Structure 1
Amino acid sequence: MSHMNLSNNEEIYRIGVDVGGTNTDAALLDSELNTIHTVKVHTTRDVNEGIIESIRRLLSESNVNPAQIHYAMLGTTHCTNAIVERKHLGKVGLIRIGAPATTSVPPLADWDDTLKAAVGRHAYVVHGGYEYDGRTIVDLDEQEILDCFMKMKGEVEAIAVCGVFSPVNTSQEKRVEQLAKQVFGADMPVTLSHEIGSIGLLERENASLLNGALLNVIAGVVKGFEDALQGFGIDAGVYICQNDGTLMRSEYALRYPILTIACGPTNSIRGAAHLSGLNNALVVDIGGTTTDIGVLSQGFPRQSSAAVEIGGVRTNFRMPDILSIGIGGGTIVRADAKKDQVTVGPDSVGYELLKRGHIFGGDTLTATDVAVKLGRYHWEGVQADELDESICRRADEIITQDIEDAIDRMKTSADAVDVVLVGGGSILVADKLEGVAKIVRPDHYDAANAIGAALGEVSGETKRIYSLDEMTYDQAIEDARSHAINQAVLAGANRDTVQIVLSEDIPIAYLPGNALLVKVKAAGRL
């Protein structure tokens, strides 16, 4: 990147943009990571318009010189939405290396017809695969694989390869990739399942197929974001947010778009940690439609250990452990006078709140109306006098109870926890909740997601096998840690800030020499 020579006293800025279902938020941070300015605009049907508008307002309202913005981060729901809506997905050809062991469950078995049609019908099971201990079950039949590729030629835009127990032994998947490049040329994108998912075959296969199907989507997103920045004269390093709370360079995101799924709640958790100064707490992020609750552990989101469904498909790549409930600022409140009962949600007026909410002259009673009626929030020139107080009180009890129950489900012990409240809808919550030690509402709480995107740290990972006959356990761990730290530095992290955020090791019985598989992840600031 060609950066102008800055004199030493010129501040360097970064912007974070987070696209949500209701709003697109943008934040401008200085080099000390102080929040200079934030804006919130409605997410548009063409998402790029909302992104351009948010950057335009950020620049005009803050008067910052675009040439001083050196980093730009984007957190986006594009990929999640593409899967859920079955739109813009590319055609993918699948090779499962697993005959005869895995033929009883065919590929795409749990996919519905709309998703199968979107991703295509080229899925083949070929001979090969490994035992759980890495021994070969069956050797590859290269001619069989080449025949499958000839059937796909001209009908697929990407290839996915998934082998039985390939995370334990990656060689067969890598060989199939070489064959694919021979047939389709070096430019054909190939997703290898061991680079994305963990052990379970079907979930890992699904994640690899979805990754291949999203390549067009992410390419459009990255190009749209880069064009928007250039249009405003911003020459910055472009990063895309991943769902573990760290960033990836845009060229890496172009290969692994699946890793952007669920980065929205993750960004809110990271932003909440930064704004509140807490490293261990529950983060309750209340938007226009849903409340997402996540766990902040040592400054990063707690990861989920269970399989995660995306658009009805089971996958098993890393995801934040998030509980979502249908309560937000636009949630609809209904009162039935005959039965004398009040119900809340789960449906929401979404971004139409400013038209349909009672206090804005509409005809729908929403959770925001309730908060204003009970004096939690004061809106300039808005009256809630004519609202029925008893209905509002009962709705408030239900909302509070639902949020308390959800907090209880996410707690790891019965002790009271600290809660950081973020998101525009956090005005709904009272200042006291059962089971909560203290509630923190930081400054800029309503743009925590964009701030979390801008903060982003860069990570490096290593996964290596060591022989404990040749070195001690401590030496092996130390070597893996230093390798992960170096990877993070290569990815753009400042060495002084890099910390180990994950470390695990598994003894491998099948290899001679007392083998140990070590996995370490390090993350640091740009």
Structure 2
Amino acid sequence: MILGLDMGGTNVDALLIKDGKIVKKVTKEIESDDAFKTIFTTIESLIKAVDLKKITTINLSTTIATNAILLNKLANIALIVQTGPGLTKEYFKVAAKTFFISGYTDHRGEVTKDYQKEEIETIKKELKKNNITNLAIVSKFSTRNNSTEMNLKNIFKRDVENITLGHQMSGKLNFPRRFKTSYLNASIKPLFKKFYDNILTAFEGLGITCPLNILKADGGIIPLKEALKLPVESIFSGPSASLMGMLALSKTKKDALLLDIGGTTTDIFFLKKGEPLFLRAGIEIKGNKTLIRALYSKSLPLGGDSLIKMVKNEVKIGPERLDKALVFGGKYLTVTDILFYLTKKTFPYRSLVVKELAKLSVSLKLTNDDLAELIKAKFLSKIKKAVNLELSLINNKLVYKIAELLKGETLVPEEMIVVGAPARSFKKGLEESFKIPVIIPPNYEVANALGAALAKPTTALSMLVNTKRRKMSIPELSIYRNVDFNYSLKEAKRYLLKELLKEALRLGADKEDLELEIIEEEQFNMVEGFYTSGKNMRLKAQVKPGLRKESEFINVG
């Protein structure tokens, strides 16, 4: 059996899958700031009367890394940066302690000038003085030669607990993005380690000892222990789980719009001929542009628990979520309360909802019914406005990466798939607003946990080849080796795919359920005078994100 677990901002969802069928599912609201207590009680409920030896894998998604960044709950770290010429230092001053060292590696991967020993001694003293135990080391062009970063790692490994190296973040040649990715990775490592320890303790306390995996932003899973090295890859784990769950539940092959309407946020996704879109450059979060490969999504601060309030004689929805809905014992009027009111049925705390609604409707000179319809319409209008904006960006080729769109096709949704607790309540309104069929799939309320459960291991590797210098590198694996002057593109692709397969198997992938592909390849001649002096090649390969074979039968679960 596979255990899928999603830790969202409002609820914890968990389920068990056996032979492609959901055999049990549990949802619990996060009652306090102690999310681990809710996780424990959720799993405890899920595994009652279950043979724990039959649980073979646990896949989870979490907002832990995302929230740490958005809420600025980052560790106190130091940065060692070797920028080289041409970049202002102000951009790199993001940590409490940022140390700039001399020297640089040029674009060919040659160490043109080394750092000074005196600089290193000064940094060592400052780290000890300020009790800093988390460090990121980033050198420009380290993807072409990682020697500076590796040397510094060996120098500082006895002085600090955690070290993040820039060349291991991505093989892409974008120094500012690699720097920000390294900064965030180092900043969330201590918090993620605490999360790892707590999760491990919780499952062991319940008698579950099978492998633990976490969902990444690209829709694939990675062993939780591996994620300790690169916790930054778990940013947007929640939206990723949502999309993978909807893919499992819908199996559409059309252009489609996907919505996950949660308690705190609404996540928007798009499919092109049933295939998800990827961000062109990488995730941007709280102004930090990174190299984290991710499925395309847009999150709106709009959900079932969004606060309804009056501002300057105008009714406003969110973006705050202060409590659960009144109908569930909360303190404030929310979108969920409006949806319950519009059913005209009896429900808990109905008189309180009517009372709070009346306070707003009187000042607007509207009936309660009219105001409730107005609030629902505003909610839908906000979603449509956001969707139209994202479609404009996509069709103008600004944010996505998928072959059909790169060839000039446009994305025009033919249907909409909606999940999340309020999904059914919005079905009719969404169909009227978007003029396309709206599908609410089975098990829509646990789509995120399902997506986590059914995701497959993924990874991606980059390769840089310079035959003039007779050098080849795969930075993510710290592979730097010599090649022949006549090294060909065919040889490069074969070697890259071989290393990708080895890495995927190391991460726990099933060899029979893997799809490896080259997603980027460039080759151009380097010319000196009138003669070719060598070839420059840039390649990227990936294990294609997708769903386990069990997903074929999931709708009958």
Please say if residues 306 and 334 of structure 2, whose CA atoms lie closer than 8 Å, have aligned partners that are also in contact. Answer: yes
Alignment of 1:275-314 (within 5 A): 275-278=249-252, 281-296=256-271, 301-305=276-280, 308-314=283-289
Unaligned runs of 5+ in 1: 1-12
Tell me whether 1:519 sits opposite 2:540 in the alignment.
yes
Deviation at 1:390, TM superposition (A): 1.3
Greater Cα offset, 14-23 or 204-213: 204-213
Please say if residues 404 and 433 of structure 1, whose CA atoms lie closer than 8 Å, have aligned partners that are also in contact. Answer: no
Deviation at 1:174, TM superposition (A): 2.2
Deviation at 1:243, TM superposition (A): 1.3
Match of 1:455 in 2: 454
Q: Could you tell me which of 80, 87, 104 is aligned with 1:95?
A: 80
Deviations 1:238-294 (A, max 9, x none): 112211111111221111111111111111001110111235633211111211112
Greater Cα offset, 154-163 or 144-153: 144-153
Please say if residues 367 and 428 of structure 1, whose CA atoms lie closer than 8 Å, have aligned partners that are also in contact. Answer: no
Change in CA separation of 1:69 and 1:438 when aligned onto 2, cut-off 3 Å: same
Measured in 2, the distance between the counterparts of 1:450 and 1:427 equals: 19
Alignment of 1:114-513 (within 5 A): 116=95, 120-121=96-97, 123-142=98-117, 144-153=119-128, 155-181=131-157, 184=159, 188-197=161-170, 198-278=172-252, 281-296=256-271, 301-305=276-280, 308-334=283-309, 342-350=315-323, 352-353=324-325, 356-357=326-327, 364-375=332-343, 388-411=368-391, 412=395, 413=410, 415-431=412-428, 432-435=431-434, 437-466=436-465, 470=486, 473-500=489-516, 503-507=519-523, 513=534
Deviation at 1:232, TM superposition (A): 1.3
Measured in 2, the distance between the counterparts of 1:435 and 1:282 equals: 10
| AA partner of residue 291 (structure 1) | T
Deviation at 1:475, TM superposition (A): 4.9
Deviation at 1:472, TM superposition (A): 5.0
Please say if residues 18 and 450 of structure 1, whose CA atoms lie closer than 8 Å, have aligned partners that are also in contact. Answer: yes
Change in CA separation of 1:221 and 1:363 when aligned onto 2, cut-off 3 Å: closer
Measured in 2, the distance between the counterparts of 1:379 and 1:480 equals: 62
Tell me whether 1:105 sits opposite 2:89 in the alignment.
yes
Please say if residues 181 and 290 of structure 2, whose CA atoms lie closer than 8 Å, have aligned partners that are also in contact. Answer: yes
Measured in 2, the distance between the counterparts of 1:79 and 1:34 equals: 30
Please say if residues 306 and 321 of structure 2, whose CA atoms lie closer than 8 Å, have aligned partners that are also in contact. Answer: yes
| AA partner of residue 487 (structure 1) | E
Please say if residues 458 and 542 of structure 2, whose CA atoms lie closer than 8 Å, have aligned partners that are also in contact. Answer: yes
Match of 2:480 in 1: none
Change in CA separation of 1:251 and 1:415 when aligned onto 2, cut-off 3 Å: closer
Please say if residues 460 and 485 of structure 1, whose CA atoms lie closer than 8 Å, have aligned partners that are also in contact. Answer: no
TM-score in terms of structure 2 length: 0.79
| AA partner of residue 264 (structure 1) | G
Measured in 1, the distance between the counterparts of 2:3 and 2:411 equals: 39
Change in CA separation of 1:85 and 1:98 when aligned onto 2, cut-off 3 Å: same
SS of the equivalent of 1:214 reads: helix
Corresponding pairs, count: 489
SS of the equivalent of 1:225 reads: helix
Measured in 1, the distance between the counterparts of 2:514 and 2:211 equals: 19
Please say if residues 296 and 302 of structure 1, whose CA atoms lie closer than 8 Å, have aligned partners that are also in contact. Answer: yes
Please say if residues 219 and 294 of structure 2, whose CA atoms lie closer than 8 Å, have aligned partners that are also in contact. Answer: no
TM-score in terms of structure 1 length: 0.83
Match of 2:473 in 1: none
CA RMSD of superposed structures (Å)? 3.2
Structure number with greater CO (CA < 8 Å, separation at least 6) is: 2
Please say if residues 304 and 334 of structure 2, whose CA atoms lie closer than 8 Å, have aligned partners that are also in contact. Answer: yes
Unaligned runs of 5+ in 2: 358-367, 396-409, 468-483, 528-532, 550-557
Match of 1:40 in 2: 27
Please say if residues 93 and 160 of structure 1, whose CA atoms lie closer than 8 Å, have aligned partners that are also in contact. Answer: yes
Identity over aligned residues, as a percent? 25
